[in-house]
Amino acid sequence: MSRINSPDELEKVRQEIISRENPNKPCISICAGAGCIASGASEVIAAFKAEIEKQGLMAEVNTKGTGCPGFCERGPVVVIYPEEICYLQVKPEDVPEVVSQTVREKKVVDRLLYVDPTTGEKATHEADIPFYRNQERNVIGNNIKIDPKNIDDYLVIGGYSALAKTLSKMTADQVLQEVKKANLRGRGGGGFPAGTKWEGSRNAPGEPKYVIVNADEGDPGAFMDRAVLEGNPHSVLEGLTIGAYAIGAHEGYIYVRQEYPLAVENVTIAIQQAQEYGFLGKNILGSGFDFVVKVHKGAGAFVCGESTALMTALEGRAGEPRPKYIRSNVVGLWGKPSVLNNVETWANVPLIINNGADWFTQFGTDTSKGTKIFSLVGKITNTGLVEVPMGTPLRDIIYKIGGGIPGGKKFKAVQTGGPSGGCLPEELLDLPVGFDELTKAGSMMGSGGMIVMDEDTCMVDVARYFLEFLTEESCGKCVPCREGMRQMLKILTNITKGKGKDGDIELLEQLSETAIEAALCALGKSSPNPFLSTLQHFREEYEAHIKEKRCPALSCKELISYYIDPDKCQACMNCLRKCPSEAITGGKRQIHIVDQEKCTKCGTCFEVCPHRFHAVRKISGEPVPPPIPEEARTIVRKSKEK
Amino acid sequence: MDKHIIDQIIDKHNCEPSYLIQVLLDIQAENNWLPREALERVAERLQVPMTRIQHIATFYKAFSLVPKGRHQIHICVGTACHVRGASRVLDTVQGLTGIEPGETDLDLKFSLETVNCLGCCALGPVVDIDGKTHGKMAPAKTADVLKNYD
């Protein structure tokens, strides 16, 4: 690998890499993102490598682990080029067949294709699968094409051309104007216009200036930043370098949580390779511009996703936020102007520079431009990462792309915006997703978590869950957040345990108001959102918990009982054997009974009871019927009567 | 913990006080917990007061000031896993191991932690034991998995 000293040289190197590879040479791309690895992708990759070797195809076929294409539900995902045949849920056992059939014979292995659950139609290519077809994948679309550990793969798809264009043809001010014109808003939560933030830093007094990537993706149930940083780290580095040029920074940081070891590894390798090629370091592409990037690992504190807290953590101290009378783009890291943007925001920058602001603004609504990646999780058929233009209605995301709610259950709510966001009910499903639209509806965009909930999810418990999360993650610096949230959590926990009392809702509202008004940082100010939005849309659930001691979703452990319907029980012994607390009595041909004293309400009996019997029921808000008398417990089978 | 290894870690980060968190993370990764002698060595070499080290070691969740068990159980309680029943899985593990999140049992067999999202939401509820991910967990299945560890 030799240093590239000018944009022309970059193009030459690019052409050389492209010409080195025959475009018709088969390439097996296997998703090596965290979701697929957890489903066994590492074994599949190893099996492909072994099989290719066994069949003596090492010279003719490439095999690579790539970034995450988003369809985690059906992982491990394998795509075979140049035909772009997409196989899902591939197991090591399938590998020999795929190699001999698809790679050698160019035949499709039917059983590994996507089958449309409604029509039964099979889809051979990625683009034919409804999950992908309805997306606009500007940012994550390339993930499956590149090996994140190999910079050449990124160069093949046009990587670093935006940087070359920036350094050779644009002034810092032109870059700034382009980003401003594109109205790129921060993808991390606040939605603050990136261009304005950059300009503030550029004009602020003080040297040196810093640019920082916020990869401390702490929202539970959100993993799009990880997919981008893991799958296409160079796109983030390129965006960061362009940003640094625009504001005049020569030092950058990537703050990535240590819970993402693969992201840390891939971005560290990417930095090293970019340095070797001369995309980072001194005199980048012969332009005279110097820029270095360092990786800092976060040690596990949700509050460090907040800009000032993150900068404090970078300085090697406990990450507590500070009041923002002066924004961090003016006084930030080490007291110097510092631009902090999230991973996805930075990854959008090269796209804007390459294609222009007009291209970028064709996607989205009036105030929210471009595309946004959402992590669609929870009670949803197709869990995964979904990139859509801003303004796409929630209904399209959940039903057209997500495939709706599994198990024939009814949709109840979708939670957006992470712990500080809110829950939106069925009536608001036609809402277009955008920064301002979601805020108006009482939720927020956040970093793009989208958690779908069905009729079995208790909304009071959801509010309690988020409050518990936020209470644990509160840094403890200001009183409204530290003490107020603790009290809110206490009250909500009592409600879910059936100890709620009149006046609890009002008290929670008062505490919320105080936190919104008086907390120090955005984390505290938005902490009551989960409660307020569930109260707004699901007040009747709160009232049922408090007044009737009943959980309408049959979810709160302390308010439900498991009961075996004697008319339905067929004494199959399934639940009896599986019950971890030995709380079920019965025997062969003896109707089973749950001992309510012993029952820990783990729900195992409910899950293992065969669907055709459906004998185990959850009861809430009413007393459990007394057990049937001993003499009535014996089941006399009709067939045996004769 | 070997003083030599601690010094190596500190030198890797150029003995730079702003890299304190990175130094502690590396020690944690190497040793699984932060022994007092290690922290004292860090304080001495980086010229950082012990109070600040204590502040950091207790503020961030990645650090442990007590030894960890042979097997580390991480139960994901992220939102996606929560709505799919992670709390029931957690209850089962607590019942079987007799320890609460953040604790280690007396035989140093298991350490239990909850984590907020491992990013494998498609497999929820997820339990990670010693780096291996077990997906689609339910109370009965969890009990079966735990039996495989001794």
Contacts of B138 in chain A (CB under 8 A): 604, 607
Host H or E run for residue A264 = helix A261-277
Asked whether residue A505 carries a pLDDT value surpassing 90, the answer given is yes
Name which of B61, B91, B133 is nearest A38 (Cβ-Cβ). Answer: B133
Instruction: Kindly report whether the peptide bond that precedes residue A76 is cis, defined as omega within 30 degrees of 0.
Output: yes
Residue B117 contacts residue A220 (beta carbons within 8 Å): yes
ipTM: 0.89
CA distance A395 to A377: 14
| Whole-number CA gyration radius for chain A | 28
**Overall average pLDDT of the A296-315 stretch:** 90
Measuring CA to CA, how many Å separate A600 from each of A204, A372, A561, B76, B92?
60, 43, 9, 21, 9
pLDDT for the residue A475: 86
* Helix-helix angle A485-496:A459-473, to 10 degrees: 150
- The H or E element containing residue A623 is none
The whole-number pLDDT of residue A549 equals 94
Pairwise CB contact (< 8 Å): A297 & B92: no
Do residues A151 and A159 lie in contact, with contact meaning Cβ atoms separated by under 8 Å? yes
Contacts of A260 in chain B (CB under 8 A): 119
Give me the residue from B52, B115, B120 closest to A34, CB to CB: B120
- Would an 8 Å CB–CB cutoff place B43 in contact with chain A? no
CATH code linked to domain B71-147? 3.40.30.10
Among partner residues A220, A258, A462, which is closest to B78 by beta-carbon distance? Answer: A220
Say how many C-beta atoms besides its own lie within 10 A of residue A49's C-beta: 17
CA separation for the pair A273, A278 (Å, rounded) = 8
Tell me what the mean pLDDT of segment B48-67 comes to. 92
Q: A146, A131, A163, A155: which is closest to A238 by C-alpha?
A: A163
Structure token digits, residue A237: 């580095």
For chain B, positions 6-35, list CB contacts with chain A under 8 A: 17-22, 24-25
What is the spatial distance between Cα A145 and Cα A154, in angstroms, rounded to a whole number? 9
Instruction: State the Cα–Cα distance between residues A608 and B140, nearest whole angstrom.
Output: 9
Q: How many residues does chain B have?
A: 150
Evaluate the omega torsion of the peptide bond into residue A432 and state whether it is cis, within 30 degrees of 0: no
Query: Is the minimum CB–CB distance between B129 and chain A shorter than 8 Å?
Result: no
- State both tokens at A450: 């989208």
Of the pLDDT bands very low, low, confident and very high (cuts 50, 70, 90), residue A113 is very high
- Given CB atoms, is B1 within the 8 Å cutoff of chain A? no
Which of A377, A451, A556 should be substituted to probe chain B, the one whose Cβ sees the most B Cβ atoms within 10 Å?
A: A377
Does the pLDDT value for residue A532 go beyond 50?
yes
Peptide bond into A7 cis (omega under 30): no
Mean pLDDT of chain B: 91
Buried b (16+ CB within 10 A) or exposed e, A278-295: bbbbeebbbbebebebeb
Are B83 and A453 a contacting pair at CB < 8 A? yes
What is the per-residue pLDDT for B90? 94
Give the pLDDT of residue A360.
95
The pLDDT of A331-353, averaged and rounded, is 95
* Beta carbon pairs, A and B, within 8 Å: 141
Residue A642 confidence (pLDDT) above 50: no
Contact A602 B92 (CB under 8 A): yes
Listed by number, the residues of chain B in 54-113 with a beta carbon closer than 8 Å to a beta carbon of chain A are 55-56, 59-63, 77-80, 82-85, 87-88, 91-92, 95
Write the residue in B77, B117, B139 that is nearest to A604 by C-beta. Answer: B139
pLDDT for res A543? 95
Residue of A nearest to B114 (CA): A469
Interface test with B, best of A317, A420, A465 (most B CBs within 10 A): A317
Closest CA to A67 of A341, A267, A334, A207: A267
pLDDT of residue B120: 84
Is the distance from CB of A361 to CB of A369 less than 8 angstroms? yes
Q: Which residues have C-beta within 8 Å of that of residue A316, sequence separation ≥ 6?
A: B17, B18, B19, B20, B21, B22, B56
A34-67 per-position pLDDT tens digit: 888 888 899 999 999 999 999 988 888 989 999 9
What does the DSSP 8-state code read for residue A61?
A: -
Q: Is the pLDDT of residue A638 over 70?
A: no
Kindly state the tokens that stand for A338: 């510092």
As to burial, measured by CB atoms within 10 angstroms (0-12 exposed, 13-18 middle, 19+ buried), residue B30 is: middle
Could you tell me if residue A323 is left (phi over 0), alpha (psi between -120 and 50 degrees) or otherwise beta? beta
Rounded to 5 degrees, what are φ and ψ at A589? Answer: 55, 25
Contacts of A385 in chain B (CB under 8 A): none
- Which residue does chain B place closest to A73, by CA atoms? B122
Task: Specify the amino acid at residue A511.
Answer: L
Within an 8 Å CB–CB cutoff, is residue B125 touching chain A?
Answer: no
- Residue A52 backbone dihedrals phi, psi, to 5 degrees: -60, -40
Query: Does the pLDDT of residue A378 top 80, yes or no?
Result: yes
Kindly list the residues from chain A whose CB atom is less than 8 angstroms away from the CB atom of residue B62: 258, 299-300
Cis peptide before A337 (omega within 30 of 0): no
Give the pLDDT of residue A25: 87
The residue written with tokens 């590894």 in the block is A265
Band the pLDDT of A136: cuts 50, 70, 90.
very high
Q: Convert the pLDDT of each residue in A194-209 to its tens digit.
A: 999 999 999 999 999 9
CA angle A441, A444, A445 (to 5 degrees): 125
Say how far apart CA A145 and CA A67 lie, in whole Å: 8
Average pLDDT value for residue range A420-446: 90
Cβ separation of B21 and A313 shorter than 8 Å?
A: yes
B109 pLDDT above the threshold of 80: yes
* pLDDT value at A637 more than 80: no
Among candidates A218, A219, A600 on the partner chain, residue whose Cβ is nearest the Cβ of B91? A600
**Which of B18, B22, B94, B121 is the best residue to mutate to test the A interface, defined by the most A CB atoms within 10 Å of its own CB?**
B121
Task: Answer yes or no: do A301 and B60 touch at CB < 8 A.
Answer: yes
Instruction: Provide CATH 3.40.30.10 ranges for chain B.
Output: 71-147
CB distance B122–A300 less than 8 Å?
no
Distance separating alpha carbons of residues A582 and A635, to the nearest angstrom: 21
How many whole angstroms separate alpha carbon A177 and alpha carbon A196? 10
For residue A641, what pLDDT band results from cuts at 50, 70 and 90? very low
Work out the mean pLDDT of chain A and round it to a whole number: 91
Q: Is the pLDDT of residue A513 over 90?
A: yes
| Domains, in order of start, for chain A | 22-131 (3.40.30.10), 159-361 (3.40.50.11540), 371-457 (3.10.20.600), 460-548 (1.20.1440.230), 559-641 (3.30.70.20)
- Asked, as a colleague might, if the bond just before A528 is cis with ω within 30 of 0, I would say no
Please answer yes or no on whether A603 and B117 come within 8 Å at the CB atom.
no
Q: By the 8 A CB rule, do A233 and A347 touch?
A: no
Q: What percent of chain A has pLDDT over 90?
A: 71
- Mean local confidence (pLDDT), B107-134: 88
Residues in chain A: 642
What is the Cα A128 distance to its own chain's centre? Answer: 23
Strand partners, A388: A372
| A639 band by pLDDT with thresholds 50, 70 and 90 | low
